[in-house]
Amino acid sequence: MNYIKIVLKGFCMGTANVIPGISGGTIAFILGIYEKLIRTIKAFDWKFIKSICRLNFKEAFSEIDVAFLSALFLGIVIAILTLSKVISQLLSSKPILIYSFFFGLILASIPIMARIIKEWTSAKIATVLVTAVAAYFFVGMVPFTTPEAAWFIFLSGALAISTMILPGISGAFVLVLLGKYQFILDAINQRDLFVLGVFSLGMVVGIVGFVRVLSWLFNKYHDLTVTILTGIVVGSLRKIWPWKEIVRSMTTSRGKVIVIEEMNVLPDQFNGEVIFALAVMAFGFILALMLNSSPDEKSLRS
């Protein structure tokens, strides 16, 4: 049953990572597995690589929670493979409801993260505000036009997975910013093994390297790191506000319309659809608080 629960949590993370603006790291925080995830990934070190090269697999995996990582990865992969088409369709047909649910979910993560800080000071509050403003402008950046060469696909994978592990910053949004979201989504749907292989290699290199930086920051500057992450989550809410107006868009060679720039707006009128969207938002908020019955309040000092 515990293995199944971890698979389901991985499924939730995978679902979030398919949607631009939603961070898998935030979902991990809500589900109370963020610390365990960082520690498990950190265990892939030079000692692990040396043991693998000597074909000593027992020693290599002796300090890695294989059951946890495999269950989580299985859930993420299942979500990506099964929901990529569904999410793509829902984002086209029901974007307000999708983003309303996740807006409420992410909004609830702010107090969840904030209570990890034992004592709030004026300096910490100022840090949250500054970081929130920076994140607000970052998520509003216009996507770039980038090459489809293997080296850039590798780089995109490394950057996307590195930001995915950060609460508040969506790996899918980074792909949008790099002009590779639809490209990778098409590769998944078409089972393009070369593109997926290069992208996956970049993800492996990116997460193994970045998690060490993140772990070091938690170890040396725990409260400051959590404070900054809280600010990032606050600012990133701009990206998942449900009601938007398209400012600029482009049509690809395959006939698909890609939004380049959009602006947050208020609903035109307060009708039944808006009320339903607000109810979905409230459901997401309450669900996040219920899922976080055991908040991840331990520091990452190991």
What pLDDT sits at residue 281? 94
101 found inside a domain = yes
269 found inside a domain = yes
Distance between CA atoms of residues 212 and 244, nearest Å: 37
Mind listing the pLDDT tens digit of every residue in the chain (302 residues)?
688 888 988 888 888 777 766 777 888 888 888 878 888 888 887 788 788 888 787 877 777 888 888 999 899 889 888 877 787 777 778 889 888 988 998 898 888 888 888 888 999 999 999 999 998 988 887 777 788 889 999 999 998 888 777 777 777 778 877 878 778 878 887 888 999 999 999 998 888 888 888 888 888 888 888 899 889 889 988 888 999 887 776 665 556 666 667 788 998 888 889 999 999 999 989 888 887 754 443 433 33
What pLDDT sits at residue 253? 56
Which residues form the domain of 155?
2-291
219 found inside a domain = yes
| Most distant CA atoms of the chain, gap in Å | 66
Distance between CA atoms of residues 190 and 80, nearest Å: 13
Beta-carbon contacts of 136 under 8 Å, excluding residues fewer than 6 positions away, are 235, 236, 238
301 found inside a domain = no
297 found inside a domain = no
Distance between CA atoms of residues 302 and 297, nearest Å: 14
Phi–psi pair at 251, nearest 5 degrees: -110, 125
What pLDDT sits at residue 178? 83
In DSSP terms, 257 is beta-bridged to 251
Yes or no: say if 184 and 156 are a contact pair by the CB < 8 Å rule: yes
Distance between CA atoms of residues 85 and 150, nearest Å: 24
**Domains contained in the chain, number:** 1
55 found inside a domain = yes
What pLDDT sits at residue 20? 67
Yes or no: say if 274 and 267 are a contact pair by the CB < 8 Å rule: yes
What pLDDT sits at residue 294? 45
Alpha-helix runs per DSSP H in 94-239: 95-114, 122-138, 150-164, 171-177, 181-189, 193-220, 222-236
Phi-psi region of 26 (alpha: psi -120 to 50; beta: other; left: phi over 0): alpha
106 found inside a domain = yes
| Alpha-carbon separation of residue 130 from 49, 135, 230 (angstroms) | 40, 9, 11
Phi-psi region of 55 (alpha: psi -120 to 50; beta: other; left: phi over 0): left
Closest among 67, 59, 63 to 5, alpha carbons compared: 67
Residue type, 4: I
- Helices (H) and strands (E) counted in the chain, each on its own, are 14, 2
| Alpha-carbon separation of residue 121 from 38, 113, 117, 124, 168 (angstroms) | 27, 15, 10, 5, 22
150 found inside a domain = yes
The pairs formed by 126-133 with CB atoms below 8 angstroms and a separation of 24 or more are: 127/224, 127/227, 127/228, 127/231, 128/227, 128/228, 128/230, 128/231, 128/234, 129/231, 130/231, 131/227, 131/228, 131/230, 131/231, 131/232, 131/234, 131/235, 132/231, 132/232, 132/234, 132/235, 133/235
The first and second tokens of residue 228, run together, are 């900054």
What pLDDT sits at residue 259? 66
Task: Say if residue 172 is exposed, middle or buried (CB neighbours under 10 Å; 0-12, 13-18, 19+).
Answer: buried
